[in-house]
Amino acid sequence: MKKGPTIFPLAPAHLAGLGAFQTALVLAFIDIRLAALPLALFLLLCFAAPFFPRFSFYLPIVHRGSRDSRSVALTFDDGPDPAATPALLDLLAKHGVPAAFFITGQRASRHPDLVRMILSRGHAVCNHSYNHSPFLMLRGIGRLREEINRTQVLCARFGILPLAFRPPVGITNPRLWRALLEAGMFCVNFSRRGRDAGNRRIRHLSKKIVGRARPGDIILLHDSAPGGFDADRWLNEIESIITGLSDRDLGILPLDRLIGRPVMKRAGAASTASHATGSFYDGIALTYDRESSLSGNISRRKERELFESNFLPQIKPDQRVLEIGAGTGMFTLQIAGRCREITAFDISEGMLSVMRNKAEREGLTNIDYQAGDVEEFQPARPYDIVCSFSAFEYIPDLEGLLTKISRFMAPGGILYFTTSHRSFFRFFTQVGNALRQGIWLHARSEIYIRNALIFSGFTPKQVRTSVLKTCRSGGMLIESMAEKAVSAP
């Protein structure tokens, strides 16, 4: 069985290239010389885009937080450095200010005590490559992986797992997103900087930052000490930035709070952090319920309707239930109120944490929370019911997963799930997801689902589509219900 999601980093660059090519074809019928214009513009854009740290042309780039918070975040690159970092940490402690340190693996390996000091003071540590080569983005994906993963391995020795990566000089390339997805990371650049050339030009640094700072800014600074570095003058500038921001009624928040997603985890606390899907949903866990309620997604509304009318009546009070892809408990909590116990399984530890808080408020104590990859799940006892709601599209080999599920279900048990149906309208949501997550969601046909159920030892009871059905194809959503055969494999 093929494991893990299908990484598919579709970016605006791909759509721009397609548009340029199509425009060139049309113009070629008018004047062949005009056809070169859109292609030339596209190539110019491809060349220029990497040098704009806030331009999400090749991959999604987090470069600022919410403007509503009236706050900013301080980030320091290129350290740690014994000539700058310890004094900076004392200054930050004096003012009670948090920061995020984007360290280079090479410096961290030389000064491990400074990394431990940063962490002991409560600051975040993020990945800034290993060697900090300004020409890193000219290298192939193999070198990118090495620079990222080598620093990740080093950070694991300090008991942490960085989730945020900042490329050297903020420059990106078309290969970076795939490398980050494979590592379960995301790109964080900046929206405000003093152009200090790595602390080589610190004169009037505070004026450059404070006067231009806006709510939500991610501010780029450095804690490196180049030749001729004046530490006292630099510290005075940093302190002026801190006090100047306060005078302008701009608070300083930890980076993760400003952008609303974790930038670092404790290495032993998140076994799924290196999983592309798990990392993405960890990042949106705190806002997922609000986004879902505001999205007006017709597939989600229909799924809720089917859940209440067709699935809930199947549950008996003495049954054990497994929900795959439980998320924040949008369906789990109702199921828990009707069964003896339910295992809530999800790839995202963050999503399960949100669900746990909701369950505690409702007094539900019969939920077993399991984080990990369902393709590796080995339950101790069989389940009477297994269900899933819009999660199977992340599984490349659904037939293999259904076969595995049948092995830990009681004979006569019920399998119920909704998933994406292959259709004209669904294709556009698949493209949108690839642009947002870098993951291709698999849509299946009714015939495929029915045959996969039979092959896996289930007797299909119902396989049908709904949502935006057309005369030529089914809808966007498949609802499936099947029974575990007594003599299933």
Q: Which helix (H) or strand (E) holds 102?
A: strand 100-103
Q: Which is more confident, 252 or 374?
A: 252
471: pLDDT strictly greater than 90 = no
d(CA 243, CA 111): 30
Same domain, 47 and 65: no
Residue 13 domain-assigned (yes or no): yes
Q: DSSP strand E in 107-231: where?
A: 124-127, 160-162, 164-165, 186-188, 192-193, 218-222
Report yes or no on 191 lying in a domain.
Answer: yes
Do 302 and 223 belong together in one domain? no
Residues 71 and 45 reside in one and the same domain: no
Return all residues near 383 (Cβ < 8 A) that are at least 6 apart: 320, 321, 322, 343, 408, 409, 410, 413
Question: Distance between CA 448 and CA 437 in Å, rounded?
Answer: 25
Say what the pLDDT of residue 280 is. 83
CATH number of the domain residue 193 falls in:
3.20.20.370
Q: How many domains does the chain have?
A: 3
Q: Flag whether 408 is in a domain.
A: yes
Q: Is 334 domain-assigned? A: yes
Burial readout 233-259 (b: 16 or more C-beta within 10 A, e: otherwise): ebbebbbbbbebbeeeebebbbbbbbb
Dihedral (CA of 34, 36, 38, 44) sign? negative
Mean per-residue pLDDT, 186-208: 95
Query: Do 311 and 258 share a structural domain?
Result: no
Query: Do 215 and 319 fall into the same domain?
Result: no
Does residue 217 share a domain with residue 336?
Answer: no
Determine whether 425 is exposed, middle or buried from the number of CB atoms within 10 Å of its CB (0-12, 13-18, 19+). middle
Is 482 strand, coil or helix? strand
Check if the beta carbon of residue 466 is closer than 8 Å to that of residue 477: yes
| Strand runs labelled E in 128-179 | 160-162, 164-165
Nearest to 463 by CA among 472, 299, 454: 454
Cα–Cα distance for residue pair 218/73, rounded to 1 Å: 5
For the stretch 135-155, pLDDT in tens is 999 999 999 999 999 999 999
CATH number of the domain bearing residue 430: 3.40.50.150
pLDDT, the chain, mean = 93
Q: Which string of DSSP letters, residue by residue, matches 39-65? A: HHHHHHHHHHGGG-TT--SSS-EE-B-
DSSP state of 310: I
Rounded Cα–Cα distance for residues 36 and 411 (Å) = 65
Which of 222, 275, 421, 442 does the annotation list as catalytic? 222
Geometric angle at alpha carbon 302, from 299 and 305, rounded to 5°: 155
What number is the average pLDDT over the span 275-283? 79
CB 444 within 8 A of CB 422: yes
Lowest mean pLDDT among 56-65, 182-191, 369-378, 417-426: 369-378
413 phi/psi in degrees, rounded to 5: -70, 160
Q: Are residues 71 and 156 in the same domain?
A: yes
Average pLDDT over residues 415-420: 97
Amino acid, single-letter form, for residue 12? P
In this predicted structure, what is the pLDDT of residue 326? 96
Residues contacting residue 402 through CB under 8 Å, at least 6 positions apart? 415, 452, 453, 455, 456, 458
Same-domain pairing of 209 and 160: yes
Q: Same structural domain for residues 35 and 175?
A: no
291 lies in a domain? no
* pLDDT average, residue stretch 190-204: 95
Between the CA of residue 107 and those of 111, 113, 150, 182, what are the distances in Å? 6, 11, 12, 24
- 249 and 193 housed in the same domain: yes
For tokens 């505690």, what's the residue? 360
| pLDDT, mean of residues 224-229 | 93
**E strand map for 251-340:** 251-252, 264-266, 320-324
The yes-or-no verdict on residue 473 having pLDDT over 90 is: no
For residue 280, being part of any structural domain is answered with no
Cα-Cα-Cα-Cα dihedral sign, residues 35, 175, 261, 427: positive
Rounded-to-10 torsion of CA 268, 273, 278, 279: 130
DSSP conformation letters of 318-355: T-EEEEES-TTSTTHHHHHTTSSEEEEEES-HHHHHHH
In the residue annotation, 77 being an active-site residue is answered as yes
| pLDDT confidence of residue 2 | 56
What is the average pLDDT across 63-79?
A: 94
Q: By the 8 A CB rule, do 369 and 344 touch?
A: yes
Task: Transcribe 70-87 into DSSP letters.
Answer: -EEEEEEES---TTTHHH
pLDDT tops 90 at residue 274: no
Does residue 322 sit in the same domain as residue 352? yes
Does 247 qualify as catalytic in the annotation? no
Confidence band for 489, pLDDT divided at 50, 70 and 90? very low
What mean pLDDT do residues 415-425 have?
95
Nearest to 104 by CA among 130, 84, 77: 130
Range of the domain at 332: 296-484
Closest CA to 223 of 141, 327, 125, 304: 125
Task: Establish if 21 belongs to a structural domain.
Answer: yes
Q: Among 77, 78, 217, 256, which one carries the catalytic annotation? A: 77
Residue whose C-alpha is closest to residue 187's, from 11, 374, 15: 11
Task: Give the range among 72-86, 205-219, 270-284, 323-337 with minimum mean pLDDT.
Answer: 270-284
Tokens of 475: 């809808």
Longest pairwise C-alpha distance within the chain: 79
Q: Which residue has the tokens 């045959």?
A: 451
Least confident of 112-116, 297-301, 441-445: 297-301
Give residue 432's Cα distance to chain centre: 15
Other C-beta atoms closer than 10 Å to the C-beta of 34 total: 14
pLDDT of residue 296: 58
Indicate the pTM of the whole model.
0.91
Q: Is 41 found in the same domain as 144?
A: no
Domain presence at residue 423:
yes
Q: Is the peptide bond before 80 cis (omega within 30 degrees of 0)?
A: yes
The lowest-confidence range among 74-88, 312-326, 401-415, 464-478 is 464-478
Mean pLDDT of 474-479: 92
